[in-house]
Amino acid sequence: MAFFPTGSLFGRLDDPAVDAGYPEPPPRVGFFTDTSVCIGCKACEVACKEWNELPADGADRDHPDVLAMTGTSYDNTGALGASTYRHVAFVEQPAPDGDVRWLMSSDVCKHCTHAACLDVCPTGALIRTEHGTVLVQDDICNGCGYCIPACPYGVIDQRPGDGRAFKCTMCHDRLGAGLQPACATACPTESIQFGPLDELRARATERLAALHGRGVPEARLYGADPDDGVGGAGAFFLLLDEPEVYGLPPDPVVTTRDLPAMWKHAALAALTVAATVAGSFLGGRVRR
């Protein structure tokens, strides 16, 4: 069971909006992505780009208006990035019968309960919203890039020629208007489900039990456990294989988890040095 100290750095378990200063926030919302019904249509990617007016990526250098494949899969975007807030991964596997099995999963920012990117941002560009999500305010971001290595999932990225950090906002503007995020609205198979996080976790548990009952023992939930290394994710997944197969870390942790102890040791060291210097100064005066 993971342990997180209370206080401003990590917040209370699964109630990040309250810890961020919202006295009566609405229920925390999030995504449940059921990869077992993802068909790889990329409607979520398209809807996300259209709504957020994101630049295209994966373009053919010789023909900028034509999207090219990466050369390693039937995927033109390749990964999450500053211009791709939703990314549908195509995983091609040999099946036991000699055929091919396809695993598809729409990845997104996890909107962690304990978000290291918030801890390291020096300008306040990264904030916790009233919905419990993590938002980058691009008009405040100074492009320092500290948040990029802090993210245990490699989600945040800087846009070439811009320098500022960008990632999924969970369509914060749509949430404020009472609408669902664009990706969930566009998904034709309900692989991407949006709603109150507690309800999604209950639904995911039922779905997992149903798959196990149908003879799919490899099905598992990823990011749904509030006792995991990031205190549970605001965007979690039902996977049909190990997390690494989908490019996800098997045991993500808050990369800033040791900062409180480091600050404590640094403060003690500073006090020790100050006391030593003061003692030497006073001792010298006494001898004189």
| pLDDT per residue as tens digits for the range 24-74 | 999 999 999 999 999 999 999 999 999 999 987 754 444 444 445 555 567
Radius of gyration for the alpha carbons in the chain, expressed in angstroms and rounded: 22
Pick from 72, 88, 80, 92: nearest CA to 38: 88
Rounded CA-CA distance 59/57 in Å is 5
Pick from 107, 115, 130: nearest CA to 20: 130
Residue 94's pLDDT is: 87
The Cβ of residue 263 has, within 10 Å, a number of other Cβ atoms equal to 11
Rounded CA-CA distance 155/82 in Å is 9
Residues 27/198, Cβ–Cβ less than 8 Å = yes
User: Among 51-55, 97-101, 201-205, 233-237, which stretch is predicted with the lowest mean pLDDT?
Assistant: 97-101
Q: Which two tokens stand for residue 226?
A: 């509030």
Domain residue ranges in the chain:
16-257, 261-288
Query: For the chain, what is the mean pLDDT?
Result: 84
Residues 154/170, Cβ–Cβ less than 8 Å = no
User: Among 47-61, 161-175, 246-260, which stretch is predicted with the lowest mean pLDDT?
Assistant: 47-61
Q: Decide which of 3.40.50.150, 3.30.70.20, 3.40.190.10, 3.40.50.300 is the CATH code for 16-257.
A: 3.30.70.20
Q: What share of the chain is helix, strand, coil (3-state, %, to 5)?
A: 30, 15, 55
User: Among 16-25, 245-254, 274-283, which stretch is predicted with the lowest mean pLDDT?
Assistant: 274-283
The residues near 77 (Cβ < 8 Å, ≥ 6 apart) are 45, 57, 58, 84, 87, 88
State how beta strands 29-34 and 165-166 pair. Answer: unpaired
Q: Which helix (H) or strand (E) holds 193?
A: strand 192-196
Query: Span 137-150, mean pLDDT?
Result: 95
Rounded CA-CA distance 81/68 in Å is 17
pTM: 0.81
What 246-249 contacts at long range (C-beta under 8 Å, 24+ apart), as own/partner pairs, is: 246/35, 246/89, 246/91, 246/103, 246/105, 246/107, 247/79, 247/89, 247/107, 248/107, 248/153, 248/222, 249/152, 249/153
Query: Span 96-109, mean pLDDT?
Result: 91
pLDDT class for 220, splitting at 50, 70, 90? very high
pLDDT class for 259, splitting at 50, 70, 90? low
Rounded CA-CA distance 14/221 in Å is 17
Q: Which helix (H) or strand (E) holds 89?
A: strand 87-94
Q: Which two tokens stand for residue 60?
A: 């053919």
